[in-house]
Amino acid sequence: MQVLVKLDKTPTMLVTHIHVEGLQVLCDHCNTSMDLYLERRPTSIFQLFGEADVEDDELVVLDPRALAST
């Protein structure tokens, strides 16, 4: 499996671009290891400020007060 992660950071948000390719699995029938072709490119956006009620699967709004305690 190959995974490539790219981060784009600004003062108010962090955008992640993740590229996953290839996977090794066991065959359900004979239990032999085999390569399974898989390609996925999900993107997530982590925002420090904004409305938490936004209906966007890619957007995660973080409470800045929670980050201040770490």
25 vs 69, residue with greater confidence: 25
Distance (Å, rounded) from C-alpha 35 to C-alpha 20?
A: 14
At residue 54, the pLDDT reads: 59
The answer to whether the beta carbons of residues 1 and 33 sit under 8 Å apart is no
* Distance in angstroms (rounded) separating the CA atoms of residues 22 and 27: 15
Closest-CA residue to 2 (of 20, 24, 26, 25): 20
pTM, two decimal places: 0.53
What pLDDT band is residue 30 in, cutting at 50, 70 and 90? very high
Whole-number pLDDT of residue 41: 78
Model confidence at 32: pLDDT above 80: yes
